[in-house]
């Protein structure tokens, strides 16, 4: 993935998430959403290292992963608006979107619920010899679910081609990692299954991309799964309307200095040809994409309740 494309994808995600926060406040979308502001380098870094044949699963906080993988911002926004043109025709909402044509198997809203699912997609890849690697996103909180343990054990035993990517953003909803993890070093858990455990700076696009590329190559060669911890920070609240009483504004301000988009711009500007005008052009392009997505969503029709009939079973 070209670095400017990566930058623009990160901006697209940021503006998408910011738009959603605004739209909720304005009462123009309903339900709930869990935005990933501040975590864009993980989503795009992973996507940059994967191949088109690969697969991805995510969590409730999945818009960034979906957009990074190539989702259409309009259809994703339309799903949040509850419209017929949304990825799930309005049935799923924020937490329930999948697109197998992108190898994207979304989430289901249960924390950790997709961890075994991703392992199963990897099993299929192994059975069919497709060389497909499955990137399985989840958070520090989800790494405490029992099914995390079960899935990693089986994947290690069977050498499944799956990368377990834990986005350690410091909080499981309101519970800080200090209060949630008896052992704060999540990658220590990898040793329990005899698989590699790697930690990277999740706000460094290049570090994430390079780590995933190495681990994916190894998985593709049949060496089995790995656990990759991407250390980042969730600048948004857990979900919309979260007043964030569990952390200080000072902590957030400090985290903003480490904003992955800011760091990407610093890296891009190392090339003197990349000046503020160039960056501004990308920002504008990303913003236009989001504005257009919102317009598309608002102009889309509501789904017809009668359309539910007959679709329960395949």
Query: Residue 168 and residue 140: Cα distance in Å, rounded?
Result: 5
Determine the interface stretch with another protein among 60-68, 124-132, 193-201, 231-239 (rule: CB under 8 A): 124-132
10 vs 97, beta carbon nearer another protein: 97
Choose which of 70, 102, 131, 153 interacts with another protein (CB under 8 A).
153
101 vs 183, beta carbon nearer another protein: 101
Choose which of 12, 143, 151, 169 interacts with another protein (CB under 8 A).
151
119 vs 144, beta carbon nearer another protein: 119
231 pairs with which residues across the strands?
Answer: 168, 201
Report the nearest approach of another protein to the CB of residue 193 (Å): 11
**Which residue has tokens 């005008």?**
277
Report the nearest approach of another protein to the CB of residue 196 (Å): 20
Q: Beta strands of the chain (E only): which ranges?
A: 55-57, 134-139, 162-168, 171-172, 175-176, 197-201, 226-231
150 contacts another protein (rule: CB under 8 A): yes
122 contacts another protein (rule: CB under 8 A): yes
98 contacts another protein (rule: CB under 8 A): yes
**Contact assessment for residue 156 and residue 224, using Cβ atoms and an 8 Å cutoff:** yes
Handedness of CA 203, 205, 208, 211 (dihedral sign): negative
Determine the interface stretch with another protein among 33-41, 146-154, 210-218, 292-300 (rule: CB under 8 A): 146-154
Query: Phi/psi zone of residue 163: left (φ > 0), alpha (ψ -120 to 50 degrees), beta?
Result: beta
* Burial label, 194 (beta-carbon count in 10 A; 0-12, 13-18, 19+): exposed
Query: Residue 218 and residue 224: Cα distance in Å, rounded?
Result: 7
Choose which of 52, 146, 272, 305 interacts with another protein (CB under 8 A).
146
113 contacts another protein (rule: CB under 8 A): yes
Choose which of 33, 56, 121, 235 interacts with another protein (CB under 8 A).
121
Determine the interface stretch with another protein among 116-124, 173-181, 243-251, 268-276 (rule: CB under 8 A): 116-124
105 contacts another protein (rule: CB under 8 A): yes
Per residue, the 3-state secondary structure of 34-92, as one string, reads: CCCCCCHHHHHHHHHHCCCCCEEECCCCCHHHHHHHCCCHHHHHHHHCCCCCCCCCCCC
Report the nearest approach of another protein to the CB of residue 151 (Å): 5
Choose which of 28, 91, 185, 220 interacts with another protein (CB under 8 A).
91
Find the largest Cα–Cα distance for the chain.
59
The radius of gyration of the chain's CA atoms, rounded to the nearest angstrom, is: 19
55 contacts another protein (rule: CB under 8 A): yes
Choose which of 2, 27, 52, 128 interacts with another protein (CB under 8 A).
128
Choose which of 21, 32, 102, 108 interacts with another protein (CB under 8 A).
108
CB within 8 Å of 231: residues ≥ 6 apart: 168, 199, 200, 201, 202, 203
- From 28, 52, 152, 151, select the one nearest 103 (Cα to Cα): 52
154 contacts another protein (rule: CB under 8 A): yes
Interface with another protein: number of residues (CB under 8 A): 42
Determine the interface stretch with another protein among 7-15, 145-153, 202-210, 246-254 (rule: CB under 8 A): 145-153
Binding-site ranges for another protein (CB under 8 A) = 55, 57, 88-89, 91-92, 96-98, 100, 105-106, 108-110, 113-125, 127-128, 146-147, 150-151, 153-154, 157, 308, 311-314
């Amino acid at each position: 993935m070209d670095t400017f494309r990566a930058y623009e994808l990160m901006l697209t995600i940021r503006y998408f998430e910011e738009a959603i926060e605004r739209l909720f406040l304005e009462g123009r979308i309903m339900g709930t959403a869990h935005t990933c502001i501040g975590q864009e380098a993980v989503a795009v870094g992973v996507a940059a290292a994967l191949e088109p044949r690969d697969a991805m699963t995510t969590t409730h906080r999945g818009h960034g992963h979906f957009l990074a993988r190539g989702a259409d911002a309009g259809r994703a926004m339309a799903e949040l608006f509850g419209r017929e043109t949304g990825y799930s025709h309005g049935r799923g909402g924020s937490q329930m979107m999948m697109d197998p044509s992108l190898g994207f198997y979304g989430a289901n809203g249960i924390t950790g619920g997709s961890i075994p699912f991703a392992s199963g997609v990897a099993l299929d890849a192994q059975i069919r010899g497709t060389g497909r690697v499955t990137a399985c996103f989840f958070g520090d909180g989800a790494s405490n679910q029992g099914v995390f343990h079960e899935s990693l054990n089986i994947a290690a035993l069977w050498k499944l081609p799956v990368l377990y990517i834990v986005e350690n953003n410091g909080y499981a909803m309101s519970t800080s990692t200090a209060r949630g993890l008896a052992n704060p070093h999540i990658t220590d858990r990898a040793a329990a299954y005899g698989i590699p455990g790697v930690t990277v700076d999740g706000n460094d696009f290049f570090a994430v991309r390079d780590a995933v590329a190495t681990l994916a190559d190894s998985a593709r060669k049949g060496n089995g799964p790995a656990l990759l911890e991407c250390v980042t920070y969730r600048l948004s609240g857990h979900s919309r309307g979260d007043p964030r009483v569990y952390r200080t504004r000072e902590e957030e301000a400090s985290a903003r200095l480490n904003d992955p988009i800011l760091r990407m711009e610093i890296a891009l500007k190392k090339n003197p040809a990349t000046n503020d005008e160039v960056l501004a052009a990308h920002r504008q392009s990303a913003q236009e994409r989001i504005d257009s997505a919102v317009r598309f969503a608002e102009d889309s029709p509501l789904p017809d309740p009668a359309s539910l009939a007959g679709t329960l079973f395949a």
